Structure 1
Amino acid sequence: MIQELLKKIEDSYYWDARVKALDCNYFGDEVKVVFEDDEKNITYHFAECYKVKIEHAVECPKDGASKELTLSQIPYFLQDVELKEIELCQKKYMEFKINMYPIELLIVCKKFDIY
């Protein structure tokens, strides 16, 4: 299953794609990363999340409110997506590490989809 998901992620050609949205909803149960593709937006949808960690590099200052940025001003580009299976409390989960510098994401979840 992990290998199939890694293939789907690679087939989404995320490298250097501009991230248009990062949404965390339902008390961290769902996370969505939306990025540009040539013809449409692609969404990584994480569900049944147990850990969501968002870190913004302090050395990269925010010059204004992110909600006011125009599309061309958004400084976040997907650089790397890592996925591995982990075991916590004798249950299996997926752990994603996503580099969209200056943001790093760490997400532990049960479900993942791309659309």
Structure 2
Amino acid sequence: MDAKKIQQIIDSNHYEDSRILKLNANYMFDEVELVHEDTKEESVLLCFSGCYKVYFDHDNNYDKLKSVKEMSTSQHLYFIQNIKIGEITINGNPFYTCKIESWPLDFEIWFKDISISKIKASDLV
């Protein structure tokens, strides 16, 4: 799959202004999972694998008011504004890139593979 096809699939899930419900890194940041809301019954899971660069930038002037851990899902502060997929080659090694804007948190991931699926909102833990 190429970056253009990945972008089309992501765009078809209408992520704009959707709430980020879950953002986890697993296996020493080899895998990053992002879940965003779609409908009341379904969410979208983006699972990045073979990750090499995972960069998070939280606006340090933004007051969270309380710990995100203490918030209910409906209180989460992060809404996706833009997702941009690209491709980059470093020393002959190709990567996909993903830049996500969700002020006050923006992040970038360099990865080898991605899976995109719908999950039941009730399956979120």
TM-score by length of 2: 0.88
Runs (5+) with no aligned partner, structure 1: none
RMSD: 0.9
Q: What SS does the corresponding residue of 2:107 show, helix, strand or coil?
A: strand
Q: Partner of 1:5 in structure 2? A: 6
Does 1:87 pair with 2:89?
yes
Q: What SS does the corresponding residue of 2:74 show, helix, strand or coil?
A: helix
TM-score by length of 1: 0.96
- Give the Cα–Cα distance (whole angstroms) in 1 for the partners of residues 49 and 65 of structure 2: 32
- Give the Cα–Cα distance (whole angstroms) in 2 for the partners of residues 36 and 72 of structure 1: 10
Partner amino acid for 1:90?
G
Q: Displacement of 1:57 after TM fit? A: 0.7
Q: Partner of 1:30 in structure 2? A: 31
Runs (5+) with no aligned partner, structure 2: 118-125
Q: Partner of 1:99 in structure 2? A: 101
Partner amino acid for 2:17?
D
Q: Displacement of 1:101 after TM fit? A: 1.1
- Give the Cα–Cα distance (whole angstroms) in 1 for the partners of residues 48 and 13 of structure 2: 15
- Give the Cα–Cα distance (whole angstroms) in 1 for the partners of residues 57 and 23 of structure 2: 12
Query: Identity, % of aligned pairs?
Result: 31
- Give the Cα–Cα distance (whole angstroms) in 2 for the partners of residues 80 and 11 of structure 1: 13
Partner amino acid for 2:109?
I
User: Could you report, residue by residue, the CA deviation over 1:38-77 in whole angstroms, capped at 9, with x for unpaired residues?
Assistant: 1301111100000001111112112221111112210100
- Give the Cα–Cα distance (whole angstroms) in 2 for the partners of residues 17 and 100 of structure 1: 9
Q: Given that residues 32 and 48 in structure 2 are in contact (C-alpha distance below 8 angstroms), is that contact kept between their aligned partners in structure 1?
A: yes
**Aligned residues between the structures:** 115
The runs of 4+ residues in structure 1 deviating greater than 3 Å are: none
Q: Partner of 2:59 in structure 1? A: 57
Partner amino acid for 2:22?
A
Partner amino acid for 2:110?
V
- Give the Cα–Cα distance (whole angstroms) in 2 for the partners of residues 109 and 8 of structure 1: 17
